[in-house]
Structure 1
Amino acid sequence: MIALHTGIAIVAIILLIIKVKVDPIIALILGCLYLGLASGIGFAETVDAITAGFGDIMTKIGLLIGFGVLMGALLHSMGAFKVMVEALVRVVPPNRLPYALTLALSTIAPSIYVDVQVVLAAPVARSSSKFLGKNGLAWLAGALGTGIFCGYVFVVPGLSAISIAGLLQVPLGTYLLFGIVIGPVTAVITTWLFRRMLNRGWWNAAKDEEESNAEDIEQAEESVAPEKRPSLALCLAPIVVPLIMIATGAFCQLAGIENAFINFLGDANVALFIGLLGAYVMARRYVGLERSTQAFTEGLQTTGEILLVTGVGGSLGAVIKATGLAKLLGGLFSVDAGAPVILSLLLAWFIAALLHLAIGSVSVAAITAAGIIAPIAGQLPIAPVALGLAIASGSLFALQVNSNFFWMFKSLLGLSTQGSLKTMTTVTSIASLVSLPLVMVASLVAR
């Protein structure tokens, strides 16, 4: 019954938002209350899970969202993203922009947490969408989501990739050897397939995009004269410096080099604050105090909206966890030593996909699935790295409304809830299905 009530809650939330036009915050809270009470958690425990889930998400990513959005608002105020986009278009042909974006995110950026990636990459994708013509925003949004999560689950040092490898006792080098191929290949193929869907009428800009965000950006970018905009190097500095700081900390940790100073500099909150500080100083220099203050105020308004809906998304995940669904799944599945390789891979994929649909977190689904399968991995006639890659593939499946990332993605890209389902949910589903046969091929050579 727990699985049934979870499914009802998720479907109800989607229908309330899309069909009844209920605000996402109200729909998510209603879903939390239904699931908690229907599954027997209890009144007090349901409320506790809602508040604890909200607090946990804010503790982890609240400052990241705030710093990132404020930095983006300041960069927009001085036309920085227009400078970046113009430089990108000069180097990469417009019809190759989505492929360049998804490749970069799936290979270079996995050391950066996914929430930070979307905060930093969304303004660039949004600003460059006009160069792709019709459905440009949809294509770039799909490429962005695909690249971020293919890197996250397949490419070391992505958090999910490291977690899966650790739980299944797979050497990171071995996991990386397979993941660095499967991740980017999946991202590119998914981006290409998604483009074919868009060409066949998948997208309706009037219903799938929210024009207000795009209009605000356009006005902010165009109102700064070209000669008063900062150079490309300065525009990139507030974004690149935090990425370097975070990546350096991650690689030092992997290499076993740890001390308080390196941990401090590699902390995502510190890194993004440095980026925000740099953007603020630049904005004061290029557009003056009054305009900088105005951009900061507008950024604070946007931040509040994103934080609230993101936090409530975390509440739903906490209520689902409190139902004990993961423990139930662990008791439902068992595999004996005679199971064939393909069945083992499909089972690992299915458990991870089902957990992701229920819990809403790619990393939690991957970690939980790996924990369920790890005790029986030694009994299976298959390399642990192949099982890990199958879990990674399944954990990608159908990121949707019970994920706090979904709501960040929606707000930062300027999409409606329906548009987010038609991009983020669609491309993660495609990527999950595309990567599965690649994992099966890898299992033939894995040892």
Structure 2
Amino acid sequence: MADWSILVVVGVAIVAVVLLIVRFHVNPVIALALGAAGIGLGSGLGAVGTVETMASGFGETMAEAGLLIAWGVLIGSLLNRMGAVERLVHALLKAFGPKGVPYAIGLSFATYLQTIFVDVMIVIAAPLARRIAPRLGKAGTGIMATMFAISLETGIALMVPGIGAVMIAASLGIPLGQMMLFGLVVVIPTVAISIFIMTIALRAGFWNPERDEQEVIDDSNAGDTQRSVSGATTAVPVQDGADASQGSAGEGSAVQTRARVATKAEPVPDRSGQLPLIVLFAPLLVALLLIASGAILDVLEIEVPAMQFLGSPNIALLLGVIGTALVGRWAIGAKDLERALVHGFKDAGQIFALTGVGGALAAIISAGELGDLLTGYFGASAFAPILLVWVIAAILHVAVGSVTLSAMTAAGILAPVAATLGLDPVLIGLAAGAGALFCIHVTSNTFWLLQMFLGQSVRGALKTVTVGVSVASIVALGVVLVLSVFL
């Protein structure tokens, strides 16, 4: 096929996917599948070749990411049920004080708390953030809202076990341990620098409490909140109201809330408040340490059979699930434990489908001649593909409103370039995640949750969410470009 026709086929398919999702409200899974089929047929793979390539891409992606997504969702559901996040925020406030707590909470949200859904995290922690805000001065609400937006969205896109990062790694064939290590290298400076920049701007007059703040949504309505799968525009119900309303009355509220969930005939004691916070998080932290250790040994080319097994992300997070479940069995009882696991499996369903179909799209694009074509245009420098994938992901995000979907699609398009240039795929993945953070706006469910639960007007949310996360997107791109010098 002629060069221009390949670009036209891919361009038309991507525009069609965007229109299906945004204009006609088609589920992203179906829209991506149609886009993949259209590219396959239009690029000359033929009917049989298109079907086989899609199936192969779906299967390979799920083999890489399926179990990790399942284990991560289950750990997050269990921690949420035990009220662990609320207690953590209290502990961080006590340890770091008002001025340091935005950075402490932000880095926690962006790293090891990525097993918990973003929207659930907002509902749980927002009441605590509102109590902290007045202690940060006139711009306190803006600072806390910016911290929420930057840390949660950055973690989704760049940090394993964030769903976006896992999907990107699966699309590009990046070892998950490597994605976690280099994601951590990018996430920590990105979150810290971005919060610092926005804090200075907000305190310098960018934040106007009279115009940028409004009455906070009633916490009693938290159970009616809708949350989306990893920022996609298609929403699914949040976990039951008992989980969503935990944060409104301090640490004791989690115990009271879950006590009401138990039936009168079969009361379930809640002893999670009796456990030290480190015990609740210990299984997850151990799992992440095992993954990091295995990745470091792999980079150093040191073979330790036991660590190769235990440090495998699927095994490490499985151990994390088992450990968290054992803690939960003692803390909240068998009934609540089973309920949390059921919710986790329900939440994982659409994520599985979206991940697999995204892999099918990436496989279709890789099977064509687009990789060779892009290599010819952008092969002069390693910086050019990184910038290009950032731009593609940014444009897709502005149109679609989904961090995960835009990052995964952009990574799939540019994956052949990475392989041909010898450029480390992790750089392409991190650039895609960074670009997908640009300009989060009114098409994002997270935008509206932060606007409602953090007491912001729409004008205020545009400052904290749209501008704040866009700053993080640019900072992350800079960090990725610096990292590319050493990889």
- Quickly name the TM-score band, shorter chain normalised: 0.5 to 0.7
Amino acid aligned to 2:238 = N
Matches within 5 A, 1:112-191: 118-119=114-115, 122=118, 127-133=124-130, 139-146=147-154, 184-191=188-195
Alignment counterpart, residue 360 of structure 1, candidates 383, 408, 422:
408
1:233 deviates by 1.6
Match of 1:31 among 24, 29, 35: 35
Aligned with 1:296 (options 332, 341, 347):
341
Structure 2 match to 1:48: 52
> SS of the residue aligned with 1:360?
helix
Distance, in Å, in 2 between the alignment partners of 1:128 and 1:328 is: 47
- Is residue 328 of structure 2 the alignment partner of residue 277 of structure 1? no
What is the rounded CA distance, in whole Å, between the counterparts of 1:80 and 1:291 in structure 2?
A: 15
| Residue of structure 2 aligned with 1:17, choices 21, 31, 55 | 21
- Alignment-mate amino acid for residue 59 of structure 1: A
- CA gap 1:397/1:257 in 2 versus in 1, 3 angstroms: closer
Partners of 1:366 and 1:132 lie apart in 2 by 39
Is 2:321 aligned against 1:324? no
Could you tell me the TM-score, scaled by structure 2's length?
0.62
Structure 1 stretch 208-217 or stretch 34-43: which is displaced more?
208-217
Q: State the one-letter code of the partner of 2:58.
A: F
CA separation of 1:292 and 1:373: change in aligned 2, threshold 3 A: closer
- Contact 1:353 / 1:395 at 8 angstroms: preserved in 2? yes
Residue type at the aligned position of 1:88? L
State the shift of 1:321 in Å.
1.8
5 Å-filtered alignment, 1:58-97, equals 58-92=62-96, 97=101
Q: 1:395-447 CA distances to partner (integer Å, 9 max, x unpaired)?
A: 555338xxxxxxxx989x989xxxxxx9999878655544566788999x99x
Q: 1:234 — aligned with what? A: 279
- Cα 1:227–1:5 change in 2 (3 A) is same
Shift of 1:307: 1.4
Structure 1 stretch displaced more, 1-10 or 192-201 = 192-201
Q: Is the 8 A contact 2:146 2:468 kept in 1?
A: no
Tell me, yes or no, if the aligned pair for 1:142 and 1:191 is still in contact at 8 Å: yes
- Distance in structure 1 (CA, Å) of the matches to 2:466 and 2:72: 23
Counterpart amino acid of residue 243 in structure 2:
I
Q: Structure 2: which 5+ runs fail to align?
A: 131-140, 161-165, 173-177, 218-224, 229-234, 247-253, 260-269, 397-405, 438-443, 451-462
Distance of 1:424 and 1:324 partners within structure 2: 38
Structure 1 Cα separation of the partners of residues 464 and 40 of structure 2: 29
For 1:219 and 1:69, the matched residues in 2 are separated by: 20
Aligned length: 389
Structure 1: runs of 5+ lacking an equivalent: 110-115, 153-157, 165-171, 336-343, 376-386, 401-408, 416-421
Once residues 81 and 346 of structure 1 are traced to their aligned partners in structure 2, the CA distance between those partners, rounded to angstroms, is 39
Task: Give the equivalent residue in structure 2 for 1:218.
Answer: 244
Distance in 2, Cα, partners of 1:231 & 1:142: 28
Contact 1:213 1:414 in 2 (8 A): no
**Structure 1, residues 242-287: CA drift from partner, whole Å, max 9, x if none?**
0111112122233333122110110111111111111211222122
Relative to structure 1, the CA distance from residue 388 to residue 288 in structure 2 (aligned partners, 3 Å threshold; closer, same or farther) is: closer
2:325 & 2:337 partners in 1: Cα distance? 7
Mapped contact 1:366–1:395 kept (Cα < 8 A): no
Distance 1:353 1:326, change over 3 A: farther
* Stretch deviating more after TM superposition (191-200 or 225-234): 191-200
Q: Using the TM superposition, name which of 215-224 and 424-433 deviates more.
A: 424-433
Out of 329, 342, 356, which is 1:311 matched to? 356
1:306–1:364 Cα change, 3 Å: closer
Moved more, 233-242 or 47-56: 47-56
Matched-pair contact (CA < 8 Å) for 2:226–2:237: no
Aligned-CA RMSD value = 5.1
> Judging changes above 3 Å, is the alpha-carbon distance between structure 1 residues 125 and 265 closer, same or farther for their aligned structure 2 residues?
farther
Counterpart in 1 of 2:312? 267
Label 1:17 to 1:25 Cα distance change in 2 as closer, same or farther (>3 A). Answer: same
Q: Judging changes above 3 Å, is the alpha-carbon distance between structure 1 residues 423 and 6 closer, same or farther for their aligned structure 2 residues?
A: farther
Give % identity: 30
Contact 2:372–2:417, Cα closer than 8 Å, also in 1: no
Q: Distance in 2 between matches of 1:389 and 1:265?
A: 23
Output the CA distance in 2 between the equivalents of 1:39 and 1:252: 42
Residue 223 of structure 1, CA deviation:
1.9
Q: Shift in Å at residue 26 of structure 1?
A: 1.9
| Mean Cα deviation higher: 262-271 or 135-144 | 135-144
